[in-house]
Amino acid sequence: MMWKVARFAAASLRGSRRLSTAIPAPSIVHKRGADILHDPWFNKDTGFPLTERDRLGLRGLLPPRVISFEQQYARFMESYQSLEKNTQGQPDSIVSLAKWRILNRLHDRNETLYYRVLIDNIKDFAPIIYTPTVGLVCQNYSGLFRRPRGMYFSAKDKGEMMSMIYNWPAQKVDMIVITDGSRILGLGDLGVQGIGIPIGKLDMYVAAAGINPQKILPIMLDVGTNNQKLLEDPLYLGLRRPRLEGDEYLEIVDEFMEAIHTRWPKAIVQFEDFQMKWAFETLQRYRKKFCMFNDDIQGTAGVALAGLLGTVRTQGRPLEDFTKQKIVVVGAGSAGLGVLSMAVQAVARMGGNRATATNNFFLLDKDGLITKERKNLDPAAAPFARNQGDIEGLKEGDNLIEVIKKVRPHVLLGLSGVGGIFNEEVLKSMRESDSPKPAIFAMSNPTKNAECTAIDAFKHAGPNIVFGSGSPFENVDLGNGKVGHVNQANNMYLFPGIGLGALLSGARLITDGMLQAAAERLASYMTDEEIQDGILYPSVNSIRHITAEVGAAALRTAVAEGLAEGHCEVGPRELQQMSEEETVEYVTRNMWFPVYSPLVHEK
């Protein structure tokens, strides 16, 4: 689908529950007795039926009464709700961590129940297992650590990775998220504590894309940390040494990628929260060799592009007018540069001139507006550097207020990691925007790093703005019965579909074409009515539906580009013969859904 806007039937069709699979196939288990109870993949707690208890050597290891899945579910939700009640009035961080702990305990014990409550309550639980709480969890990781999750490859493992990878107990891995902990959300270098991010991202893969949790693998690549506080913390769990640099660093990542590819040649690797220099370097190094992508550069770009195109629609203009939108991006890191690169590609695809595509883009970093006069101009930012004076008075290093006043942008987009940088003066200056509906995207995470709050945005920039933020905020009551809608402009709307589409196509690589198709599908998902209400992205409650659509778009492009090798029993030819609708059905059918399946013991 190109730039046309698809219309959809009732929003109720988008609920995740409709996507559940029917009869559970049996699972083969190679253990018996207490070992099963201690394995969260197979454990059903008191839910084991009596026949299964007999078959698996569980008789006597559990209280006699069998509790149904529904009862277990209700009991967990009651505990969760009483925790909410009992922690009322306590500081947000205490409440959030208490909620994370209760969910994490269930995750450690019974994955089927955990993922079911997560999927059914994704709007309430995503902010706990994902941003913003996951940031707090990473910051407090040493204290919260109880049992390991995922794998840890450290600089000390050099030369061992090819054999270490076989320590992972699952035979098959489909989806890997890896970080080196060097730029965790907007919280900086958190070293080994960044493992919380791959875990949270993969939880979103299970919830949104239905990736089987037995086939996911969170990875921490511990190459040291430059965070002095952590290096001095006696309880810090990572290597207590400065980060490896240069070739020493790349040799570790190369060895890891080779090891993964040797054991699971079809696994998809998502790079997450790497500092900018390594984010770009590793993407260039591996994207033509492995099926991988960088979520912060590429996933974020697609979500932002969908928001930018939605913004054009809110103004009642045709999508092609995107080429005329003046966009100020604050933050010239992996995310900000990724967004602008994809925006250039979009202009080119709309028939715009690639050479002049950046004419309406304005990029700032910590030193202000980036122009060609910048000393030591970063080559990655160079394509977006302005000529001094190409708008009257515009000059190197202009601060944000100066830029907004001179440019009067349609869009102000923050990916700086600096909380509150869109202050009252900045937001008020957006009232002079050339757009009837100026857009403000405060995309940095977690919440305290957001460039502004939703309330401040509507209060200072005016009630007619369009607003998006990386972490969730409540909608804003504008008075007179009107609501300022808050969009969660987060890459969670794309990465699960990109990964799932790549997996089910059996793509050898993840190409720009696949990423563009995924972003375009997200951009066309909302109806005109929703867009007019300032709603640019679907509700998190329908994340499985949007992921199926995004996944199908990526899959079809992989097929069209001749990269699809097929998945399991579905070969490339069958993929090619599927209609658009059949592709969405195929993707949906392949989503794992948590139900207790009968366990069959095999030696």
Residues belonging to the active site: 130, 201
CB 80 to ligand CC(=O)C(=O)O: min, Å: 25
Q: Which of residues 345 and 490 has its CB atom nearest to ligand CC(=O)C(=O)O in the complex?
A: 490
Please state, as a whole number, how many other Cβ atoms lie within 10 Å of the Cβ of residue 495: 29
Q: At what angle do helices 495-505 and 543-560 cross, to 10 degrees?
A: 50
Number of residues counted as binding ligand NAI (CB under 6 A): 30
For residue 296, state whether it binds ligand CC(=O)C(=O)O (rule: CB under 6 A): yes
From 194, 310, 438, 470, residue interacting with ligand NAI (rule: CB under 6 A) = 470
The long-range contacts involving 576-580, CB below 8 angstroms and separated by at least 24 positions, are: 580/1, 580/552, 580/556
Tell which residue, 298, 212, 265, 284, has the closest CA to residue 495.
Answer: 298
Q: Is 101 labelled a binding residue? A: no
Sign of the dihedral defined by the CA atoms of residues 472, 475, 478, 484, in that order: positive
Question: From the CB of 572, what's the least distance to ligand CC(=O)C(=O)O, in Å?
Answer: 32
Among 178, 185, 329, 486, binds ligand NAI (CB under 6 A): 185
Return the number of other C-beta atoms located less than 10 Å from residue 53's C-beta.
18
Choose which of 227, 445, 505, 542 interacts with ligand NAI (CB under 6 A).
Answer: 445
Residue 128 or residue 415: which is nearer to ligand NAI going by CB? 415
Binding residue (CB under 6 A) for ligand NAI from 336, 501, 534, 594: 336
3-state secondary structure of 554: helix
Dist. CA 587–CA 578, nearest whole Å: 11
**Residue 182 makes contact with ligand NAI by CB under 6 A:** no
Is 273 known as a binding-site position?
Answer: yes
3-state secondary structure 164-233: HHHHCCCCCCCEEEEECCCCCCCCCCCHHHHHHHHHHHHHHHHHHHCCCHHHEEEEEEECCCCCHHHHHC
Of 67 and 418, the one with the shorter C-beta distance to ligand NAI is: 418
From residue 151, give the alpha-carbon distance in Å to each of 148, 198, 258, 300: 8, 10, 16, 25
Told to check if 451 binds ligand CC(=O)C(=O)O by CB under 6 A, we report: no
Q: Give the chain's end-to-end CA distance (angstroms, integer).
A: 49
Query: Cβ neighbours of residue 262 under 8 Å, at least 6 residues apart?
Result: 162, 165
Question: Is residue 72 within the footprint of ligand CC(=O)C(=O)O (CB under 6 A)?
Answer: no
- Name which position in 345, 490, 542, 547 contacts ligand CC(=O)C(=O)O (CB under 6 A): 490
Secondary structure of 297-346 in the HEC alphabet?
A: HHHHHHHHHHHHHHHHHHCCCCHHHHHHCCEEEECCCHHHHHHHHHHHHH
The answer to whether the annotation marks 474 as part of a ligand binding site is: no
| Sequence-ordered list of residues with C-beta below 8 angstroms from that of 187, at least 6 positions apart, any chain | 135, 138, 139, 446, 449
Closer to ligand CC(=O)C(=O)O by Cβ: residue 193 or 445? 445
Question: Which does residue 37 touch among ligand NAI, ligand CC(=O)C(=O)O, Mg ion, none (CB within 5 to 8 A, set by kind)?
Answer: none
Judged by CB under 6 A, which of 111, 174, 189, 273 binds ligand CC(=O)C(=O)O?
Answer: 273
Strand ranges, E, within 351-503: 361-365, 368-369, 411-414, 439-442, 466-469, 476-479, 482-484, 486-488
| C-beta of residue 474 within 8 angstroms of C-beta of residue 556 | no
Give the integer Cα–Cα distance in Å for 249 and 214.
Answer: 30
341 binds ligand NAI per the rule CB under 6 A: no
Q: Which residues of 398-411 are buried (b: 16+ CB within 10 A; e: fewer)?
A: bebebbbebbbbbb
**Site membership for ligand CC(=O)C(=O)O, residue 491 (CB under 6 A):** yes
Q: 360: which 2 tokens?
A: 């309406």
**Residue span 539-568 as binding mask against ligand NAI, x where in contact by CB under 6 A, dash where not:** ------------------------------
174 contact, one of ligand NAI, Mg ion, ligand CC(=O)C(=O)O, none, CB 5-8 Å limit per kind: none
Residues 293-312, mask of contacts with Mg ion (x by CB under 5 A): ---x----------------
Min separation Cβ 278 and ligand NAI, Å: 10
Task: Give the C-alpha separation, 159 to 182, whole Å.
Answer: 23
Among 227, 323, 416, 505, binds ligand NAI (CB under 6 A): 416
Binding mask 257-276 for Mg ion (x = CB under 5 A): ---------------xx---
Task: Report the site for ligand CC(=O)C(=O)O in 164-223 (rule: CB under 6 A).
Answer: 185
The binder of ligand NAI chosen from 189, 222, 365, 549 (CB under 6 A): 365
Site for ligand CC(=O)C(=O)O in 90-149 (CB under 6 A): 131
Question: Using an 8 Å Cβ cutoff, are 344 and 358 in contact?
Answer: yes
Nearer Cβ to ligand NAI, position 244 or 304?
A: 304
Q: Check residue 189 for interaction with Mg ion (CB under 5 A).
A: no
Report CA torsion sign: 305, 310, 312, 318: positive
Residue ranges in contact with ligand CC(=O)C(=O)O by CB under 6 A = 131, 185, 273, 295-296, 445, 470, 490-491
Feature table: binding site for (S)-malate: 183, 445, 490
Annotated binding site for a divalent metal cation: 272-273, 296
Annotated binding-site ranges? 183, 272-273, 296, 445, 490
